[in-house]
Homo-oligomer: A and B are copies of this chain.
Amino acid sequence: MEDVARLAGVSLKSVSRVVNREPHVSDTLRAKVEAAIAALAFVPDAAARSLAGSRTFIVGLLFDNPSPNYTIKIQSGVYRACVEQQYHLRIDNIASDLPRAEVEAQLDAIVRNSRCDGFILTPPLTDNVQVLAFLERRGVRYARIAPNSELGRSPCVAIDDAAAGALVARHLWALGHRRLGVVTGPPLHRAGDRRRTGFLAAIRQFDPDLVVAEADGLFSFESGIAAGMDLLARDPRPTAIFATNDDSAAGVMVACARAGLRVPHDISLCGFDDSWVAKSVWPYLTTIYQPIEEMGYAAASLLLDRGETGDRQVMLDFHLVERDSLAPPP
């Protein structure tokens, strides 16, 4: 930094001001310093910055029970935002299904050791009030991804799961399907439940008396097979099934194959997530795309643009990805 200051003919502090985008810096000075920084390819030392200042330039990303596809996308979005803002990314797993004291012990270790400037919480941590309360008590900033309660409590990023469920309902209805099935998610997964209720509410608007068949799923491939077999055994058999995530949709597809039903000729199938599975099954799965990578990016931006104005709640767009698993009823 000394070299930069000398080359620009200014004091160390002025270089620091420019690097940190502090106010009250004249344009000419800023230009001189920036030129010197570029000329010397100066990169500020993160360790020294965090030692001297109050920030650590680290953001923590907290997962529980990570599903590879989801995790990796969130991570890459958060990473992208961190690089832009010259932050480092630190990833931690915590098991939130333990007794209260143990969860707190894990959090305590992470908060103490990592000294992050803030954390990003992913489901199911994002709705864990115990975790939220702990972080607040410690005065640690955090942003949440896909929360389903107390949205005002912190910056958060989400999609409108209910609207997405309704979109699937409208699409299936428009194709002519009147015998419908839904594969639900795990009981505690609020987002999954909102997809389901959004779907059901939309159908009810079309025909208040129509009964939609439901089967329990756990968002896993195996549970999808079971739920699919369950649904296919109903009388009348559904002509279209909405599985509230892609993994269980892949399972339903297996159940169809075992029942001798061809997708989409004999039965239509819609997933949710547009995860990597959607293109690892045949036919390719029609599904709802949710911008997971973008959610990671938005959450990190929310966390890092501290002073900035703007929404503390960001709603991102979703859309239907039409592939090959939907057709009119036979």
Q: Which residues of A contact B (CB under 8 A)?
A: 41, 43, 45-48, 50-51, 56, 58, 66, 68-69, 71-73, 75-76, 79, 88-91, 93, 112-113, 115, 221-222, 225, 247, 250, 254, 257-258, 276-277, 279-282
Contacts and interface: CB of A to CB of B under 8 A. Distances in A.
A257 B282 contact: yes
B280 A221 contact: yes
11 contacts: A43-B112, A45-B51, A47-B56, A88-B88, A91-B91, A221-B280, A225-B282, A247-B280, A250-B280, A254-B282, A280-B280
Contacts of A282: 225, 254, 257-258
B79 A91 contact: yes
Contacts of A43: 112-113
One complex includes copies of this chain to the number of 2
The secondary structure that dominates the A interface is: helix
Contacts of A75: 91
A257 B43 CA distance: 56
Given A48-B51, A68-B71, 15 more contacts: A41-B112, A45-B51, A47-B47, A47-B51, A47-B115, A51-B51, A58-B88, A68-B68, A72-B72, A88-B88, A89-B90, A91-B91, A250-B280, A257-B257, A277-B280
A101 to B, nearest CB: 16
A85 to B, nearest CB: 13
Contacts of A280: 221, 247, 250, 277, 280
Contacts of A73: 68
A259 to B, nearest CB: 12
Contacts of A45: 51, 115
A221 B41 CA distance: 43
A89 B93 CA distance: 13
